[in-house]
Structure 1
Amino acid sequence: MQKIRLQLSHSIESILIEIGDIILFTLEVIKQFFLAPFEHRELIKQSYYIGNKTLPLITITGFIMGLVLTLQSRPVLVEFGAQNLLPGMISISVVREIGPVITALLCAGKISSGIGAELGAMKVTEQLDAMEVSGTKPLNFVVATRVLGTTLLVPILVIFADAIAIVGSFVAVRMYEDISIVLFISRAFDSLSFSDVIPATIKTFFFGFVIGLIGTYKGYNTSRGTESVGHSANSAVVTASLAIFVIDLLAVQLSNLIFEV
């Protein structure tokens, strides 16, 4: 029993220490956003890589997401004679919650792990140390550009995934009834309001920031040894995914409080 208590105490202590390290790392990264030189070329390069690597996966997943959600929801609405409400229900579900969270989790698995592995390899091979010796700031050139890139790209990927999901929903509806794309989109957007779109869009910026931050933190603090690179990548995915769920929970609570008032 005493051994279990010691292990639990050690685990809690380790978690608290890591949270403190992440907070300090976050402050340092945010500081780099406002310090010269601004590595705009590296930012554009990383943003392109992030979008290019993730776009095919987002496209396929978004389409299937809208297709499956519609196929599962339609029989229930048909039973009550409310199939006309299907486009609006799908659009609200996708825009408010399913689209942002699923896309962010995909980005956490694809982007955060990639960044963690890349920076971990750079750490192990002492490339980051070589940058410091040559006068280049790794936090500025390597970390800040990737964090800012994910912060800007993830919201765009979420919007794209939402649009593809609505297209997938339209394809599913067309399997059973003759409806034009114009009418479908009109019904879908009539159900949306600013209270649906604005909170969902704002939280995607936080999703992107956390995905880039966790990936760079895990990679930047990789231990010596090649096996640590894989551990950093896996840890980045798990930590970023948990952070996404926490941010989503807080965002939902805040938006409910604000818009209920």
Structure 2
Amino acid sequence: MIFHHIGSYLLLLRSVFKKPEKGKIYWKETMHAMNEIGIGSLGLILIISTFIGAVMTMQIAFQLVSDLIPNSIIGSINRDSNILELGPTISALVLMGSVGSSISSQIGSMRVTEQIDALEIMGINAPGYLILPKILAGITMVPVLVILAIFCAILGGLMGGALSGAVTPSDYIMGIQEGFNGFTVTVAIVKAFVFGFIITSISAYKGFTVRGGALEVGQASTKAVVIGCITILAADYLITALML
């Protein structure tokens, strides 16, 4: 059963990346998908990232109680943790739950109402028309959201440390600047790019292959979120093992 789904997923992707009939229509759909994925998820990502950064600062300060360790190390740990792991992975899991379920429900509803069958009868490449714009929007907007999430997490750590008294702003900023390795940002962007593809493609696959009615569409959306989250965590491990 697993190999059946993997094969169906790969065959669907092959149909998705066929040469489009009219690039102008695809461009319009891509812009619409970028607005839904990027602008529609911006507020949620910023709020979650800010609070994660603030909580991380207080937890790090609680654990580092030794007088031999400078307080500036709190900023360094928070920076690297958010760039390498919390920013990309938490953002991807949140987007899988919101954007992924939405994509699966939209395409699944079109499938059960036979709108996709109508597109195929008219000779339109339905997988390319419905899924390709969402994949392009995902691999474009998810890295942007991850960069904003990292920035907000570091800023939230600064505010959380200052408000709680865990670390002074000057020590925190000093820690952010010390020992910064730019390669960590590259790893975060690679993760975000892969996560964007996983979020959109798996959700679209589950919606495109659904059969039945409204109940099955809801079940497909749930399965898409579960499978997508597991795939994101597995990809996170593989990218970390290969790049670090």
Aligned to 1:42: 29
What is the SS of the residue equivalent to 1:35? coil
What is the SS of the residue equivalent to 1:18? helix
Structure 2: runs of 5+ lacking an equivalent = none
- What does 1:1-261 align with in structure 2 at a 5 Å threshold? 14-29=1-16, 31-32=17-18, 34-38=19-23, 39-80=26-67, 81-175=69-163, 176=165, 177-180=167-170, 184-185=172-173, 187-256=175-244
The answer to whether the 8 Å contact 2:34/2:141 transfers is yes
Give distance in 2, aligned partners of 1:68 and 1:211. 27
What is the SS of the residue equivalent to 2:99? helix
Structure 1: runs of 5+ lacking an equivalent = 1-13, 257-261
The answer to whether the 8 Å contact 1:91/1:189 transfers is no
- 1:214 Cα deviation from its structure 2 partner: 0.4
Q: 1:78 to 1:146 in 2, by over 3 A?
A: same
Give distance in 2, aligned partners of 1:191 and 1:26. 42
The answer to whether the 8 Å contact 1:59/1:161 transfers is yes
Q: Return 81-90 or 108-117, whichever deviates more.
A: 81-90
- 1:184 Cα deviation from its structure 2 partner: 4.1
The answer to whether the 8 Å contact 2:198/2:232 transfers is yes
Give distance in 2, aligned partners of 1:186 and 1:84. 6
What is the SS of the residue equivalent to 2:72? helix
Runs of 4+ in 1 over 3 A off after TM superposition: 183-187
- 1:19 Cα deviation from its structure 2 partner: 1.5
Q: Return 106-115 or 73-82, whichever deviates more.
A: 73-82
Equivalent AA in structure 1 for residue 227 of structure 2 = T
- 1:178 Cα deviation from its structure 2 partner: 4.2
Give distance in 2, aligned partners of 1:254 and 1:178. 36
RMSD of aligned Cα (Å)? 1.6
Equivalent AA in structure 2 for residue 170 of structure 1 = L
Give distance in 2, aligned partners of 1:117 and 1:56. 22
- 1:42 Cα deviation from its structure 2 partner: 0.6
Give distance in 2, aligned partners of 1:76 and 1:123. 52
The answer to whether the 8 Å contact 2:30/2:133 transfers is yes
- 1:197 Cα deviation from its structure 2 partner: 1.3
Q: Return 195-204 or 96-105, whichever deviates more.
A: 195-204
What is the SS of the residue equivalent to 1:236? helix
Equivalent AA in structure 1 for residue 62 of structure 2 = P
Please, what TM-score do these two structures have when normalized by structure 2? 0.92
Give distance in 1, aligned partners of 2:177 and 2:104. 38
